[in-house]
Each structure stands twice: as C-alpha cells, then as structure tokens.
Amino acid sequence: MTMERHLATAQAHPNIALVKYWGKRDVELNLPAVGSLSITLDRLCTRTTVRFVPDRREDRIRIGGHEDATAAARVSTFLDLLRQRAGVAWGAEVESTNNFPTAAGLASSASGFAALAVAGTRALGLDLAPMELSELARRGSGSAARSLFGGFVEWARGVRADGRDSVARPLLGAQEWPLRVVIAVTARGAKETGSSAGMRRSAETSPFQSAWLDHQDADLAVARTAIARRDFAALAEVAEHSCLKMHALALAARPGLIYWNGATVEGLQRVRALRRAGTAVFFTIDAGPQLKAVCLPDAVTTVAQALREVPGVLEVIECGLGEAAALLDEAGAAA
Ligand code: PMV
C-alpha cells in the first residue's frame, strides 16, 4: 500500500562523535580520511516523509516548514542517487522536521540524511540492508552513515576507491552501556563555516594535518577497548583528546577555524572541574559552539545543573543513547 503510493516516513537520531571524523579522502563520494566512532542520541530526532510523484520532474523540499534553496539543492542531489538506483526520474515531495536547532553543531545533517536515506529508498521500493543504507547516507553527509545505527557506532575509513567498505557498524547497543549526554546550547544561529568547508581548509592549510591522520587508528583502538570494557575513564581521556586534537587542527588552518564561543570554553572548564572532583563526565564539541557532556547516569543531574549555571548557556538538553534509524507507519510508530 505504502509502496504503491511511493510514500514513506522515517525517523533518525543525531549522533555525537567521540573519536572525530575530520577530513575527506574523496570529496565526490564523501569518503573520510579517518575512521570515527560515535554515540547515537535518543531524544533529538529528525522525521522525514518522502513521496515520489511519477509524472513530476522537480522536487519540492521543506525543512522545518521552510523552503531553503541551499538545503534543497543538497537534498535533490542526494535524491538523484536514489532515482539513479531505482531507474526513475520522478520528482519528490520531502517534508522534514527536526525537534532541535538545525545546522548549529547538533548534527542535524547526520539525522537528516539518515532519515532521508531510509524514507527515500522505501518510497522507491528499494529494499536495502542497514549497511547499504549507511553507505548511501554517507553520500549526503559523512556522519549520517553512523546515524543508521543506535548506541555505540564505528564508521570505517575503508580503503576501496568506490567506498563500498566505508560504512558504519554498531559496536554496542544503547542499553548495554546507557551513558547520558547533556547538551549545552550556547548559540542558536547556523554556524559560519560548515564542516565540509572546514575540513577542506584544514587539509589544505593546517600544518597539523598529517599528525591528525597518523594517530587516528590508535585513538579508535583505545576507544573500542574502553567501550568493550565499559571503562569510562579511558573513554573520557581519548574522547577529550580527539575533540581537542580536531579543534587544534582546525584552529591552525589559515584563516583559523574557531568554532567555540566564550560559553563553550567556560563549559569545558566546568566539565573538567567536575571530573577533578570525582564526577564521571567528559566533554566533546563538534563544528559549532555547543558543548556536549557525556556522563554516567547517576551524574546527569549534577552535570546539567553545573552547565545551566555557565554564563551564556541558553538551554540544556538531557539525552540518553538512542536507537537505529527506522521507518514509521502512518500513525508515526516504528513500522
Ligand atoms: O557529517 P559532516 O560532514 O557534517 O561532518 C561532521 C564533522 C564533526 O561533527 C565535527 C565530527 C564527527 O565525526 O561527527
């Protein structure tokens, strides 16, 4: 029934990298220069409905109720991949909503392209396995490859030129080590330099690029082991290191990329102070000013309270670890 109408709805959650992806080995295929490792969040979510209209050629794309030409062009380019695969030239109607700010370092492109890959392929009657969907979502936004899965996820760099081996895989389910994430929102606007442009500038001008590439596999191995052993202190150490190293790489580009504001820096100092005082928490920051604090469940109230008190923090969002991207039925329940 749904397939006959070429219609499907999917939901996906953003993910936050603990060992960061920064740099591409192939821009066209969106292949990463390094592997990465993330956690998928539960509360934040993108819901996307895709409907293909066989007798139409153009796409109509609304994100958060608005038509934005730049975002629409990116979505249409992605839909072309799906159309190619299905051998059709149908136009699509896409309606996508986030329950959190778009393009401000909260990984809206990750959940957005993961939901679009799941809904778009189903609307065309394509039946892809999760790893194939991960490969496809990667073409929209690198980190979207990871949002196909829940819990702890690793996205492989891969070595193949065609990218078939650069897909994500789940490492550990959300319930198997239920960490909490406290997000301190410190700005609401879209970021100045998007991640793709930032990665390009870092690779072309930062003197630290080769050191960044050289140490990633070791960081991934440490993080993998820490997760397998539920060793919070070891994960905290490597995750903060990876975050600060990615930002050091970007800061040393020309012109330097400064994704932080004052509240971001104040927040990370607070997280460090909490940890020194015995609270199981660490921070991470992506290509935007929001600070994410990852903690054990019993620390979440303390962490949220401490971050709420940081001057410049506009809002604090508490999340747990979330599940994989999924199709939804017409009532909005998991299909
Ligand atoms: O998926 P993109 O192209 O928006 O890149 C994401 C880059 C970081 O969020 C900074 C790091 C990561 O691994 O998610």
Res. 103: pLDDT tops 70? no
Res. 102: pLDDT tops 60? no
Alpha-carbon span 195 to 106, nearest angstrom: 12
Nearest alpha-carbon partner for 271 in 239, 249, 315, 247: 239
Calculate how far, in angstroms, residue 141's C-alpha sits from the geometric centre of ligand 1: 8
DSSP classification of residue 179: -
Neighbouring CB atoms inside 10 A of 132's CB total 17
- Block residue for tokens 């986030």: 98
Calculate how far, in angstroms, residue 301's C-alpha sits from the geometric centre of ligand 1: 28
Calculate how far, in angstroms, residue 155's C-alpha sits from the geometric centre of ligand 1: 12
Give the end-to-end CA distance of the chain in Å, rounded to a whole number: 13
Pocket probe for ligand 1: among 109, 143, 166, 192, the residue whose CB has the most ligand atoms within 8 Å is 143
Sequence letter at residue 288: G
Neighbouring CB atoms inside 10 A of 318's CB total 16
Calculate how far, in angstroms, residue 265's C-alpha sits from the geometric centre of ligand 1: 20
Calculate how far, in angstroms, residue 249's C-alpha sits from the geometric centre of ligand 1: 14
| Region 109-116 average pLDDT | 96
Predicted pLDDT of residue 1 = 42
Q: How confident is the model at residue 3 (pLDDT cuts 50, 70, 90)?
A: very low
**Closest ligand 1 atom number to CA of residue 141:** 1
Predicted pLDDT of residue 189 = 76
Pocket probe for ligand 1: among 74, 200, 286, the residue whose CB has the most ligand atoms within 8 Å is 286
Alpha-carbon span 335 to 332, nearest angstrom: 8
Task: State both tokens at 318.
Answer: 């508490």
Cβ–Cβ < 8 Å for 313, 35: no
Poorest-pLDDT segment among 120-129, 151-160, 180-189: 180-189
State whether residue 315 is helix, strand or coil.
strand
Sequence letter at residue 19: V
**Closest ligand 1 atom number to CA of residue 144:** 1
Q: How far is CA 309 from each of CA 266, 276, 299, 304, 313, rounded to the nearest angstrom?
A: 10, 18, 16, 9, 8
Calculate how far, in angstroms, residue 263's C-alpha sits from the geometric centre of ligand 1: 21
pLDDT tens, residue by residue, 319-330: 999 999 999 987
Predicted pLDDT of residue 264 = 98
Res. 27: pLDDT tops 70? yes
Res. 129: pLDDT tops 60? yes
- Block residue for tokens 């700010």: 101
Q: How confident is the model at residue 101 (pLDDT cuts 50, 70, 90)?
A: low
| Average pLDDT of the chain, as a whole number | 95
Alpha-carbon span 105 to 119, nearest angstrom: 24
Nearest alpha-carbon partner for 272 in 314, 318, 230, 307: 307
State whether residue 218 is helix, strand or coil.
helix
Rg (CA), the chain: 19
Closest-CA residue, ligand 1 atom 9, reads 286
User: Ligand 1: residues whose CB is within 6 Å?
Assistant: 17, 20-22, 36, 109-110, 141-143, 195-196, 286-287
Calculate how far, in angstroms, residue 246's C-alpha sits from the geometric centre of ligand 1: 11
Closest-CA residue, ligand 1 atom 8, reads 286
